[in-house]
Amino acid sequence: MGSILVFGASGQLGQCLAHVAKERNTADMVFPPEAQANILNPQGLKELFEQYRPAYAINCAAYTAVDKAEDEVELARKVNRDGVENLARLCGEYGTTLIQISTDFVFAGTGNTPLVETDEAAPISIYGLTKLEGEQVIAPHTAKFFTLRTSWLYSEYANNFVKTMLKLGRERDELRVIWDQVGTPTYAIDLAGCILTIIETQNQQYGIYHYSNEGLTSWYDFATAIFELSQTTVKTTPIRTAEYPTKATRPAFSVMDKTKAKTQLGVAIPHWRTSLQTCLSRLG
Instruction: Return the bridge partners of 235, or none.
Output: 174
Q: Is 94 a catalytic residue?
A: no
Cα torsion 147, 181, 189, 269 to 10°: value is: -80
CA distances from 180 to 151, 241, 251 (A): 16, 6, 10
H or E element: which one contains 145?
strand 145-150
* CB-based contacts of 235, cutoff 8 Å, min separation 6: 173, 174, 175
Closest C-alpha among 226, 144, 158 to residue 189:
158
Options 52, 56, 63, 127, the catalytic residue: 127
Positions marked catalytic: 127
